[in-house]
């Protein structure tokens, strides 16, 4: 009976060992599969698949943990059984101890893997949720892009329609332009013919204009001749002012140049006329005092007459002014000759040099008035220059009086 009980107990031990070995093999396969999933498969599979795998793996681990607890119970039961003294029982116990150590190591590794799985699941779920959000964002972006694409296609279609209409309008305008060009060319041809006719008329008008220019030139020459003969020329005219230039014709017997005198006639607001001259020796207001003329015609004629008589004298006085210190008093017709020690006064008669003569009126020196009856140039009819040259050679500083 003892041998039968021992054999039955050994059989039960063998069955427990076989079951333990089978469970350990399954545990090794699960761990190897989990390691492979961590090494390469996890990098290739999506997050959703990895999360489902992690959940399934955890369920499998829980089942294996339950089975390992059963194995532990069996092993603890075997440890509490009576010890077998033979060599086979020692070997069995040794193997069971090794299996128990291996089982403890596997249990520790299992606990470590369970903890790592527990820590990785929230991250995987967070990544899965983030992936869902990104997928939603991508879907929204795709919808936006599709909407924009559709909008761009509609715009492109509208642009094509507008371009076609523009091309049609351009063709119509081109046809209109060609028509206008043909009309313009016809008008240009007509205008060219008209221009040719006008050129012929212009040539005829130019020929007639040359004839008129020749007549005008002859008329202008005749007018200049009249101005030269009359001794007066119109310089400028405005609403309130008239400027004239009077000149004396050159005398063949005289060596002096023709004298020029500019006069300015200004109409005042009260209707009166103001006379101004540019020569200090001929004052028109002295010749024609204000109120002595009735019209502009009589005024100009009287000025011309007076100037024609006085022009030779004025020309001579202006030429002698550069050589002698003289002063002309037009109203009194007196010429004063200033010497370093005396002053000589000459009277110029009207009509000089044609009819009138010149006489010495007085000589005032530092010692008084000099008797002038014995002083006269040697010429029969001495001119103003002869008198001045003669007086410049006389010395009136002798202490005698008249």
CB 396 within 8 A of CB 341: yes
> What's the whole-number mean pLDDT along residues 44-59?
74
* 54 band by pLDDT with thresholds 50, 70 and 90: confident
What pLDDT does 161 receive? Answer: 92
4 pLDDT exceeds 60? Answer: no
* 208-227 pLDDT tens trace: 888 888 877 755 664 565 45
Tokens of 281: 């020796």
Per the model's pLDDT, the better-predicted residue between 29 and 319 turns out to be 319
What pLDDT does 22 receive? Answer: 65
> What's the whole-number mean pLDDT along residues 139-164?
90
What pLDDT does 36 receive? Answer: 55
What pLDDT does 258 receive? Answer: 63
254 pLDDT exceeds 50? Answer: no
> DSSP 3-state assignment of 250?
coil
CB 346 within 8 A of CB 383: no
What pLDDT does 226 receive? Answer: 47
26 pLDDT exceeds 70? Answer: no
> DSSP 3-state assignment of 235?
strand
Per the model's pLDDT, the better-predicted residue between 118 and 160 turns out to be 160
Within 245-383, residue ranges assigned H as helices are 284-287, 296-320
30 pLDDT exceeds 60? Answer: no
> What's the whole-number mean pLDDT along residues 285-301?
68
175 pLDDT exceeds 60? Answer: yes
> What's the whole-number mean pLDDT along residues 320-337?
87
17 pLDDT exceeds 70? Answer: no
Per the model's pLDDT, the better-predicted residue between 250 and 54 turns out to be 54
DSSP of 356-394? --EEEEEEEETTEEEP-TT---SSSS--HHHHHHHHHH-
Weakest-pLDDT range from 73-87, 127-141, 198-212: 73-87
Tell the burial category of 402 from Cβ atoms under 10 Å away from its Cβ (0-12, 13-18, 19+).
Answer: exposed
| Average model confidence (pLDDT) across the chain | 77
239 pLDDT exceeds 50? Answer: yes
What pLDDT does 181 receive? Answer: 92
What sign results for the dihedral spanned by CA atoms 153, 159, 160, 162?
positive
Largest CA distance in the chain: 213
Which residues neighbour 144 within 8 Å (Cβ) at sequence distance 6 or greater?
none
| Percent residues over pLDDT 70 in the chain | 74
The whole-model pTM stands at 0.40
Weakest-pLDDT range from 96-110, 217-231, 304-318, 345-359: 217-231
* 152 band by pLDDT with thresholds 50, 70 and 90: very high
C-alpha radius of gyration, the chain, whole number? 74
Weakest-pLDDT range from 32-41, 68-77, 285-294, 381-390: 32-41
State the DSSP H helix or E strand holding residue 114, giving kind and residue range, or none if neither: helix 87-230
């Amino acid at each position: 009976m003892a041998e039968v009980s021992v054999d039955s107990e050994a059989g039960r031990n063998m069955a427990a060992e076989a079951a333990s070995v089978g469970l350990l093999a399954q545990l090794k396969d699960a761990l190897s599969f989990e390691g492979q999933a961590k090494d390469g498969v996890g990098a290739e599979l999506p997050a959703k698949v990895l999360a489902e795998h992690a959940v399934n793996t955890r369920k499998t681990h829980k089942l294996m943990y339950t089975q390992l607890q059963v194995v532990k119970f069996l092993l603890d039961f075997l440890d509490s059984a009576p010890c077998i003294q033979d060599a086979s029982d020692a070997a069995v116990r040794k193997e069971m101890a090794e299996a128990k150590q291996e089982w403890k190591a596997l249990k520790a590794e299992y606990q470590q893997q369970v903890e790592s799985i527990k820590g990785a699941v929230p991250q995987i779920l967070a990544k899965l949720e983030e992936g869902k959000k990104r997928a939603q964002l991508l879907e929204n972006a795709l919808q936006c892009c599709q909407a924009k694409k559709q909008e761009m296609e509609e715009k492109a279609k509208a642009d094509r329609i507008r371009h076609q209409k523009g091309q049609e309008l351009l063709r119509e305008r081109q046809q209109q332009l060609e028509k206008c060009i043909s009309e313009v060319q016809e008008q240009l041809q007509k205008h060219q013919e008209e221009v040719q006719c006008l050129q012929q008329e212009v040539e005829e008008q130019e020929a007639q204009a040359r004839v008129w220019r020749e007549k005008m030139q002859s008329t202008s020459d005749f007018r200049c001749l009249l101005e030269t003969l009359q001794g007066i020329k119109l310089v400028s005219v405005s609403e309130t002012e008239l400027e004239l230039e009077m000149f004396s014709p050159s005398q063949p017997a005289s060596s002096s140049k023709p004298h020029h005198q500019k006069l300015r006639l200004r109409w005042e607001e009260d209707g009166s006329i103001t006379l101004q001259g540019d020569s200090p020796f001929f004052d028109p207001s002295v010749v024609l005092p204000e109120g002595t003329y009735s019209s502009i015609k009589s005024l100009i004629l009287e000025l011309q007459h007076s100037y024609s008589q006085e022009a030779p004298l004025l020309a001579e006085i202006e030429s002698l002014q550069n050589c002698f210190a003289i002063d002309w008093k037009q109203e009194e017709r007196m010429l004063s000759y200033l010497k370093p020690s005396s002053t000589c006064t000459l009277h110029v008669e009207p009509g000089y040099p044609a009819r009138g003569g010149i006489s010495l009126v007085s000589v005032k020196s530092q010692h008084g008035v000099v008797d002038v009856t014995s002083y006269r140039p040697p010429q029969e009819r001495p001119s103003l220059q002869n008198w001045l040259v003669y007086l410049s050679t006389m010395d009136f500083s002798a202490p005698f009086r008249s």
